[in-house]
Structure 1
Amino acid sequence: MSTDAIAIERAALLQERLAALEPSNLQVIDESHMHAGHAGARDGASHFRVIISSPQFAGLNPLARHRLVYDRVHDLIPHPIHALAIETGKP
């Protein structure tokens, strides 16, 4: 499987997992190319940035919002996803 196909598959997996948060905005950005040579990248793991807004974030501080995101994807870290940058917002 090509590197691009793997990245697309992993991004789709993140989108699928985060759909449970009923996001009003969800962007999954592959940033693996910015981490070439990094330990996780050498092992074939990916680096992603997630930008997400959800009604479920209402009344939550940023740490609590990040925890909701991590709860959905924790089993994907450290492999196949080595790093996940999260930007959360309210709808």
Structure 2
Amino acid sequence: MLRRYALGFSNAGRQFSTMSSNTPLEDAIRAKIRAAFDPQTLEIYNDSHLHAHHKAMQGSTSRETHFRLVIISDAFKSKLQPARHRMVYALLRDEMAQENGIHALQLRTLTPEEEARQKKKDVDTQKQQQQQSQQSETQKPVPASQG
């Protein structure tokens, strides 16, 4: 039996068989997005367990209803967020329409340049917070000695 490791995705390091899958919907999402968008980064998070107690999910036998996707691709260049999301929704239309299919889909769609800018912004914000923390430590008032 052929086995492989999925790296860089939500099931990073999880060994799985190509003969059958416990996550057929996730596998279909991954295959379609790879084929359509050739992403530099694709992260798929199955958040279904967080929503299993919701009334709308009562009686559902599916363990694949709520997904969160992060897609970094050049295919999104010169497109606004709504257009990017429409592209993904159109691609996954069948998976969303089928019984016990995708109930909720959260998307984060970026170009590689947008991702780089976001990472730089995150690093700058973290540095600024560290500097503010250090300044507040050095500016704490020293209690006057009682005497």
Scaled to the shorter chain, the TM-score interval is 0.7 to 0.9
More strand by share: 1
Structure 1-normalised TM-score?
0.83
Is 1:54 matched up with 2:73? yes
Q: Shift in Å at residue 16 of structure 1? A: 0.7
CA contact (8 A) 2:42 2:69 kept: yes
Q: Please, what is the CA RMSD of the aligned residues?
A: 1.7
Is 1:13 matched up with 2:28? yes
- The aligned residue for residue 81 of structure 1 is 102
CA contact (8 A) 2:71 2:110 kept: yes
User: Which aligned runs of 4 or more in structure 1 are off by greater than 6 angstroms?
Assistant: none
Is 1:63 matched up with 2:78? no
- Alpha-carbon spacing, 1:44–1:83, altered in 2? closer, same or farther (3 Å): farther
Bigger relative CO (Cα 8 Å, ≥ 6 apart): 1
User: What one-letter code is carried by the residue in structure 1 that aligns with 2:103?
Assistant: H
Is 1:90 matched up with 2:111? yes
CA contact (8 A) 1:41 1:82 kept: no
- Determine the C-alpha separation between the residues in 2 that align with 1:25 and 1:82: 23
More helix by share: 1
Q: How many residues align?
A: 86
Secondary structure in structure 1 of the residue aligned to 2:89: helix
- Determine the C-alpha separation between the residues in 1 that align with 2:104 and 2:61: 12
**Percent of matched pairs sharing the same residue:** 33
**Larger of the two Rg values belongs to structure:** 2
**Unaligned 5+ runs, structure 2:** 1-20, 113-147
- The aligned residue for residue 51 of structure 2 is 35
- Determine the C-alpha separation between the residues in 1 that align with 2:108 and 2:59: 25
**Unaligned 5+ runs, structure 1:** none
Structure 2-normalised TM-score?
0.54
